[in-house]
Structure 1
Amino acid sequence: VCFRFCRFEMHLGILGSILQWERVFCPSEPLYQTYRASVITKEIRRQTVSPSSTTGNGGLRSSPVPSPGQSTLWQDLQKVRDSGVLEQLSPELCKYQESMFEVVTSETSYLRSLRVLTDHFMDNRELEKTLIIRDKKTLFSNVLRVREVSERFLKDLEERVFEELVFPDICDIIHYHAQHNFPAYIDYVRNQIFQEKIFTKLMKDNVQFAAVISRLQESPQCQRLPFMSFLLLPFQRITRIKMLIENILKRTKEGTNEEQTASKALASVSKIIDECNTQVGKMKQTEELIHISKTLEFDKLKAIPIISQSRYLEKKGELQEMSKGGTLFNSRLKFNSVYLFLFNDLLLITIKKSSERFVVVDHTHRSLVQVEAVADSGNSSSPLEHCFNLTMLENHQGREFERLLKAPSQSDMHRWMAAFPNPTNPDGNEDEVIYEDWGEN
């Protein structure tokens, strides 16, 4: 109980400090979803220098105080305006200050939107009544942790800005948080595919949930922005931070400590984004494996597990297989449809039972498959056009098994053959054909 109270007390301390910052420095920051439009307006204001806005020393005087809904400029801060420091700084140094200050204002805007997500949506009692615990956990993921990370980050940024009017650097703060706190973004982004899926399902099947969400979206504090736009905020934010660092780095002097710190911050944030993308890819692969697994039937075969963290689908598609009644010497060959699922480590031969059901008739490890084109595969007048032999060196029964398969086109045949070793050309160095389109047409 003491631990929870201390944590709550610490949270209130951080929140109180941030609220003071917003009230004094950034009272007009918009919600993060509308922040980009505000940034464009800000950039126009920053680049528009009227005669009354310049000084004899080449510095910049502050522009008029921003109207509500516009993002705050560093030069618009009252303390900066009153200090006379703008008359002493070159335009380049002013732009450097603005590039750093944008990290602060955009984080303020982002946190404001996060609060709408947590306070207005997640903590809404009516909405909570429409959700079971599992669905709520999936829908909101670790957003409270993400919000806490943002609060701590903004607090440290705020303290740096409070220290002195012209702050030399903030990239050391970004670098620290990227190493110690930003990994929370990875956990959030990893679950994003399931967030979107459960939200779509709830909106379709849960009438009460859909009604409450629609009403909450119409609230003034939401600014009529869709609920989904709030769920997507964290990944948008972490990618935006990278862009902001790049802008800062562009304005730092070469060979300075500031340049070195900005480079470190950029590398650490880029690492977080790369891991986010990796995790998104893995979760999509897992989701695809789950879907495929549900469509498969092992009727007369012993079922094998399809879902694996290291497995992913590379290619799937329908081919024609020469039936047992047909022979190579028969001018009227008989072919039956088969559907292949090729994973990075596994090949499944199935028969399509319906649009969403497949009966597995054979399988083998991918490395135990060899392919070879039939002699007349390129002859348009031959019944063996687009045909190739697929040999399983060890099928599900542990036996060698050969299949004669026919592809819809010559290019399709080459795509399938390129996926397996060729017994006459195991290294695939001769007459290698590279195809950009690897998936099913």
Structure 2
Amino acid sequence: MREELESNLLCDMLCDVIHRHTSSHFGAYVDYIRNMPYQEQTMHNLGRKNPQIMEILRELQDDQRCYRLPLKSFLVLPFQRITRLKILIENILKSTEQGSERQMSAEKALRALIKALPLVSSSRWLVRQGQLAQLSEKENIFGHRKLCHIYLFLFNDLLLVTTRKGMDRFVVRDHVHRSLIEVSEGLEEKEDLECASWERMFCLALLKNQRGTTSQFLLQASTHAEKITWMEVLSHRVDGMEGIYEEWDCPQVRCTEVYVAQQPGELSVQLGDTINVIQKTADGFLEGRRLVDGERGWFPDYCAVQVTNEYVQRKHLRQRRHVLQTANRILNRRHTVAQATACFR
């Protein structure tokens, strides 16, 4: 960003820089923020064991180059810069021309930045959490399949697959958007399992995890009732079949015409506005929330066109998986019939 500012006072490429680093290098910020509580605990333990360390810190903080600020204020700077970047992009959007390349660049950077923000959010809440047993796919040298414990955190828009590392510490093994979860019965054929019970098992598939790949977990609940509960809550998804969408998984439109609100509850839109659609009606109206300022209201669908956002991509991914699964079942059925026919010849 500093190099861009020195080369061009208008900062035309500033949002591109933010988007590039947010998409590729944001993991360092996430790890740093995740470790902040342990930084504070380490400093507390060091000060308790060796008071001289606190004296040295006070001397450093009194230095003019530190502006008499405590060490903690410097440790939280990375986190503060993330929120400032969001404010910066929002201000850029307010001053850019509607439909311009600069506006599209700023919106792309803002979406990437919001997506990369830490787990805690006012729009995210915990739906269910709990421990399950995972059955390994491969057998060991004795022909047995191993069971290990995992801990699931299901939020309204996100699933975390973790391993417990203490009373209140967890290591995230995998995570996925909630709309990219598929659940099914655990075993197509009943097996004699020494360490597990097929009646309490189900399969959890993450269609596109944080690595961009598909991962599957064969899980066992403690009771059959718990299995049913987990399968219901994991498979629950509003797909907009009645024109109602979850705000964390909804279509997105870009306005192609200006519309001025005619009555209370409607939303005035400008050319190029990007809006998340929350609800559709049969008479041609959309309810949405504008991405830039969060304002919500109704507007006619003729003044906007749907854009290919993550909602559309996830929908296509689910449809592709279902087609492949159906094709595999048909091929397996044909193979079984062919084998049976050959046996009777």
Q: Same fold (TM over 0.5)?
A: no
TM-score by length of 1: 0.29
Point out the structure with max Rg over C-alpha.
1
Structure whose residues are more often helix by fraction: 1
TM-score, normalised with respect to structure 2: 0.37
